[in-house]
Structure 1
């Protein structure tokens, strides 16, 4: 018998060429940033060929989904829309020619979203919770899925010392409201995903609370995404630099899965695939790759 997790209203999702049954399946979203100043890889995949190869390598290692970003969330000067399009669209086009992996684009700009979808993107991952109202229209006019993420600041602006009376209650209320807003603008509910936005306008105690109570995010009834990989709440908790956060990232992702997360956004694909598949087996979602131990008259030590 599998574990009892918060129910989903639309668990079976066809996203691009792939179908997921989120009532018993976890999707692994790999991260590839085509930025010179990305949070994790510090520009290692900024060059077009390196970005495309990183996407293909992630798919080969078992990622179900590749999230391509052209602008970091962190505060900074605005990037011209034309430049963001020039960063992400060629990667989408090249990856789409080579793979049926789900492609998402991490953007908060509706014009970028339209170009990305036209190039073959299946998902728009908006870390600003539809700050640009045109974003919902861009998705509604297509077959794409929209990820709605909780954050408080306007795009790329500073939000010092965020305060919450109850961070999880406020995140849940925000996500419910923005999901209803997206539906009112024509995006079908069955094409929505929610993300509580670990670290986005939240301090470490807030992000730990969101993780601890992730079941309340999942109880919204839409597939919930946990973007925990290598985040600062892990680094501050473990006193670990970005290059030393793998174990903490896997622990946070696995815990979120046991609380109802159905997509995990991760940098270290091979390790994440193993952790997710093991968690799926424990939850009763996946059968072992093979059975040998104590299955015969004689067993090897």
Structure 2
């Protein structure tokens, strides 16, 4: 009944309402609709809405419109509002689809890292398992590939180091080795990942993925790709916040190369809008 009143009242003011699936328990009452309207329409709506709802809308609008604050990860600070950061991808795997295993092995990987730093990489991201279709490697083996390399990169360079993994135990080992950011292509599907990020005081990149890592990524056919992706990222980000991860340490990735045909350009075209707002 309360949701219906929101839909009716916002539509009466001339705004647009899009229904979305609820978040997963215990957050199922958090994400119900997306409201789109002018500043005047939102002002009128907040003036007429119940105080708790008005406060929630005001917080979300502030997060959407305002420039993102500086993000501190370890001893490094990121200013996403004023510049673009370039990440050098360093895959210490024999079967990487990105570089075909060209930099597999500690000495070869470190030599490539030297090149990346000279070429101006702001961040070095280390991966220990290919995203290609196939069986996952054991976490212990992935840790052996990434943790010593991360520790050496942190020792050598004044650059933030990230790790590309969807396994919480690998993320924990990487953070202990000095990584300050975890790139999780599963979208933090494992609830333990949130606890690892929170206790490790790291940041996380949550990627939208339909299915599971290392499966065949088939093209997705949904009426509104952007709404579907935004709902997923909102839900997973909210779960991160509930676990104790500060909102400013959460980055999102729509996963353009994972199950999204190039013809579905609405995701890329709307990235600039910063329409995904998560209120803590």
Q: TM-score normalised to the size of structure 2?
A: 0.73
- Residues 27-42 of structure 1 mapped to structure 2, 5 A cutoff: 27-42=85-100
Q: Is residue 147–residue 174 contact of structure 2 (8 Å, CA) maintained in 1?
A: yes
Question: Judging changes above 3 Å, is the alpha-carbon distance between structure 1 residues 24 and 39 closer, same or farther for their aligned structure 2 residues?
Answer: same
CA deviations 1:101-126 (Å, max 9, x no partner) are 11100000000000000000010000
Which residue of 151, 155, 163 maps to 1:105? Answer: 163
Which residue of 181, 188, 213 maps to 2:270? Answer: 213
Q: Is residue 208–residue 255 contact of structure 2 (8 Å, CA) maintained in 1?
A: yes
CA drift of 1:174 comes to 0.9
Is residue 163 of structure 1 aligned with residue 217 of structure 2?
no
Which residue of 91, 109, 128 maps to 1:70? Answer: 128
Question: Judging changes above 3 Å, is the alpha-carbon distance between structure 1 residues 9 and 212 closer, same or farther for their aligned structure 2 residues?
Answer: closer
Hey, what does 1:95 align to over in structure 2? 153
Cα separation, 1, equivalents of 2:65 and 2:84: 14
CA drift of 1:164 comes to 1.7
Q: How much is the aligned-residue C-alpha RMSD, in angstroms?
A: 1.7
Hey, what does 2:83 align to over in structure 1? 25
SS at match of 1:84: helix
Cα separation, 2, equivalents of 1:154 and 1:138: 20
SS at match of 2:126: strand
CA deviations 1:38-86 (Å, max 9, x no partner) are 1221000111111122123212221110111111222211101111001
SS at match of 2:251: strand
- Residues 1-301 of structure 1 mapped to structure 2, 5 A cutoff: 7-8=65-66, 10-206=68-264, 208-216=265-273, 218-221=274-277
CA drift of 1:16 comes to 2.7
Question: Judging changes above 3 Å, is the alpha-carbon distance between structure 1 residues 57 and 17 closer, same or farther for their aligned structure 2 residues?
Answer: farther
Q: TM-score normalised to the size of structure 1?
A: 0.68
SS at match of 1:116: helix
Structure 2 gaps, min length 5: 1-63
Q: How many equivalent residue pairs?
A: 215
Cα separation, 1, equivalents of 2:123 and 2:136: 27
Question: Judging changes above 3 Å, is the alpha-carbon distance between structure 1 residues 7 and 44 closer, same or farther for their aligned structure 2 residues?
Answer: farther
Question: Judging changes above 3 Å, is the alpha-carbon distance between structure 1 residues 102 and 182 closer, same or farther for their aligned structure 2 residues?
Answer: same
Q: Is residue 106–residue 125 contact of structure 1 (8 Å, CA) maintained in 2?
A: yes
Q: Is residue 71–residue 84 contact of structure 1 (8 Å, CA) maintained in 2?
A: yes
CA deviations 1:223-255 (Å, max 9, x no partner) are xxxxxxxxxxxxxxxxxxxxxxxxxxxxxxxxx
SS at match of 1:194: strand
